Structure 1
Amino acid sequence: MSYETKIISLKGHRTLLACYSLASRTSHKWVVFLPESGSEFRHGDRQELVGLIGAHMSKKYNFLVINKPGVEADHVDKKVFEKSFRHEKRIQDALQTLKEVIPPKDKIHLIGYSEGAYNTPVVASKDKRIVSIAMIGGGTRGWLKEELSNASPKEKLSYERAIKNIYKKPKSKTRWNGFSYATWYSYRSDNTLRALKGLNIPAVAILGARDKVIDLKAAIVDLVLVSERKPIQVHIFGDCGHHFTKHWKPVSRVLSRFLSEQERK
């Protein structure tokens, strides 16, 4: 399937590859996808959009994927990828990409998965063209808090020690539980929850009841409490973990309905 690419110049002599496809040359509505923390390359073509929001709704929207710095179709620059794996840079990089790719008066529906889900409310709080957000498999609290909350009784003490070390060496590239100290430290705050509380745009959160990656209980409580004052929907799939491996079609249907509701407003 055809798609277009644009190299986005970022702070710190970095770049990322934005990939997008148009519903038509006259469409002014976009679905923008912020991917998970991994280094998989996405093309931003129509087929990917169909898989995300369904065939019917995909006809109405231009589609943009903001790939991670260092991630290309056939290559991953691990040094650049790690350098960019910081909360502040993820937000800056997304905002810069939206500014360069999407015309000023167009409307944006922002969808994030996993790491991307944590960042969607923060990005939305800084770009007023974003008219709705969807968070798939994302929590609401700082990552270190969530790791400690999910730790088993046997793991608690070692996790507490590791977290103390992260606070002592916040710029270290030493790795713990899959990420560098610097990455963990950058995601230590409750940025997602704080941003959600300040938004007044429609939002949908999609969670797996068996998710062991995020602090699921805290996320559900936070989302329900915020939904009492803000337009937030919460969907929980019972037989599903963090990766939604067998559940993308139901997720797609939820997103399709959510976007359809926004169309009718």
Structure 2
Amino acid sequence: MDPVFLLMLLCLGIGAVAGIMAGLLGIGGGLIIVPTLIFLFQHLLGMSIENAMPIAVATSLSTVIFTGLSSARSHYTLGNLDKNIFKYSAFGIAVGAVAGAQFASMISGVMLQRIFAALVILIALQMVFNRHRRSEHEVNKGILGGIGLGSGFVSALMGIGGGALIVPALVWFRVNIKKAIGCASACGVVIAIFGTASFIYAGWNRPYLPAYSLGYVYLPATLGIVITSMLTARIGAKLTSKLDTVKLKRIFAVFLVLVSIRMMIGIE
């Protein structure tokens, strides 16, 4: 079977799993998508880690444009999107996402892989030990700009929508959890649009990129993931009332730590 076609078929499965986990646990699919794409790029397309890593991150980020729009629209309809929080965060997010993608394209693939793995471990620990403690201070324009800049940079660097970073930060500054999730969903779209555009620019006309690439974004993988993840996210959301999401989050966090350790030590 043609490797590109096989990869696209497998990405349909990746998208299905990522969508369910995102809907069920409220985590970004990029935490699943990036490590899996690295494996597929290396073993199906014969890429080195130097090439596979930035392409995996950029491709994962590109999928958030489509999945994030659906989520953001739902939260807007439910009244969970605070326009002021979004407005004052968005500029910092856009700048941070552009800078994060440029930084990711400049460093070595091995270094990017290790940074990704280390950050995933931190996110996993936050998922397990988060107690939703709050600061004595409330958000203001400066705080929102800083949250946007930092979360935009890190999210683009990792190829994720940023919910795992933005929601805890907003809750810490006394934003209602539903408003925090709603704003994070809209902010994720901004991260994805500006970060993806930055990755496309950074990878434009690079000679080692595979066919069907738009800069660092590998379009067959983006298409396969988006087709199924947009459908299964709804299924995951419906399962939240039937399953113990707290226990599942802890199990998933352990899984993320194990995947990250493997990435760090480079076991094939």
Please classify the TM superposition score into its range, dividing by the shorter chain length. Answer: under 0.3
| Structure with higher strand content | 1
| Structure with higher helix content | 2
